[in-house]
Structure 1
Amino acid sequence: MVASLELRTSKDLKRIAAELRAMGDKQLKAEFSKELRSAAKPMVPAVRRAIRQIPSKRGYRADGLRGAMSRAVKLEVRMAGRDAGVRIRVDGRKMPDKARAVQSYMEGLKKPWRHPVYGNREVWVSQPAHPYFFRTVRPLGLASRVQVNKAMDRVARKIS
């Protein structure tokens, strides 16, 4: 027996979301949104755990940058417009003012940043990247995507 898996695209999700809006069935829309959220929910604690495990000479501190990054991890389910979809992100708006892009630097999406050692402006160091996000989310992504596809199939059947 050969197993097959059809991975649906974000266009399918946008189309289903548009159909649900046109139908005006708020209960079905809420049910679909809840299923999407539950499919991606296991990724949030996994990303937070990966952030807490980023190496540091001082160890993990809840009031430090890694603690702020961990608190900034959020799950978004949007059912409207171009941005219809499910996202896990580290929201820079929830980071301290001067550290809004730290998550991108840590992941290695931006060049390593330089900073003074414990505020001493005479001594600067370059902070290397410690990828945490994609390394954590990729293995969980397929199982989550399968759940999302099943939810999309169920709702598509109810619509038609």
Structure 2
Amino acid sequence: MAGSVRITGTGQLVTLSRRMRAAGGPRLRANFARRIRRAAEPLHRDLQQAIRTVQLPGTGRTKRGGPSPTTRPLRATIAGSVRISVRQGASPGARIWIDRSRLPADMRNMPWTIEQGRVRHPVYGNRRRWATQSARPTGWWSRTVQAGTPRMQTEVERVLRDVRRDLE
């Protein structure tokens, strides 16, 4: 799984960034950055929704246990770590990524583990007893990125046309 989705460094973005810098206009650059961020937001929301809806069915005993010993819901915590960043300058563009620093230390690899389809964890914190859960084999990240990237690229191209038209 790729750690992030990037629409950066294309010749059009670099050329446009240079022209905006030469033209000055902080308002123009702020507008550009805002519109690029807006182009990436639907994919960002889709990724958050995808991780929130991943099913992790348990294996083994059918009897349910008590409440979780942790107050950190797994899917919501991972969804909160999906971030957007917009850059201008030498490598302009948008990036959607998982910020591992926003995850607790024991969950830092969970987005990739769930993507691969197998999650092993101690049963209610008991490190002598482990459970294995399976996710859908297609992966929550790759499937969502593949579906959302064309829409994001189309929107970025539209923003580029509009800003280019404003510069001329």
Q: Shared fold (TM-score greater than 0.5)?
A: yes
2:35 & 2:71 partners in 1: Cα distance? 31
Quick check: 1:72 aligned with 2:81? yes
Offset of residue 66 of structure 1: 1.0
Residue deviations 1:87-126 (CA, integer Å, cap 9, x gap): 1222111111221221122222xx9564322222222344
After TM superposition, list the pairs within 5 Å mapping 1:43-62 onto structure 2.
Answer: 43-57=43-57
| Offset of residue 10 of structure 1 | 2.4
Q: Matches of 2:140 and 2:39 in 1, distance apart?
A: 20
Corresponding position: 1:122 with 2:128: yes
- Partner Cα distance (2:9, 2:158) in 1: 13
Q: How does 1:75-90 map to 2 (within 5 A)?
A: 75-82=84-91, 84-90=92-98
Asked whether the equivalents of residues 20 and 29 of structure 1 are also in contact (C-alpha less than 8 Å), the reply is yes
* In structure 2, distance between residues paired with 1:159 and 1:89: 31
RMSD over aligned CA atoms reads 2.7
- SS in structure 2 opposite 1:123? strand
| Aligned equivalent of 2:146 | 138
Mean CA deviation greater in 99-108 or 25-34? 99-108
Structure 2: give runs of 5+ residues left out of the alignment: 1-7, 59-69
> Kindly tell me: are residues 10 and 126 of structure 1, through their superposed partners in 2, closer, same or farther at Cα, counting changes over 3 Å?
farther
1:92·1:103 contact (CA, 8 Å) conserved in 2? no
The question of whether the paired residues in 2 share the 8 Å contact of 1:52 and 1:67 is answered with yes
Q: Secondary structure at the match of 1:134?
A: helix
Query: In 2, are the aligned partners of 1:50 and 1:136 still within 8 Å (CA)?
Result: yes
115-124 or 72-81: bigger deviation: 115-124
1:99 maps to which residue? 107
Structure 1: gaps spanning 5 or more residues: 1-7
State the 1:63 CA deviation: 2.9
Percent of aligned pairs sharing the same letter: 29
> What secondary structure does 2:95 align onto?
strand
Alpha-carbon deviation of 1:129? 5.2
For residue 37 of structure 1, what is the aligned residue in structure 2?
37
Structure 2 residue identity aligned to 1:70: A
Equivalent residue pairs, number: 148
- Say which structure, 1 or 2, has more relative contact order (CA 8 Å, 6+ apart): 2
Counterpart of 2:61 in structure 1 is none
In structure 2, give the amino acid aligned to 1:47: L
Distance (whole Å) between structure 2 residues aligned to residue 62 and residue 154 of structure 1? 46
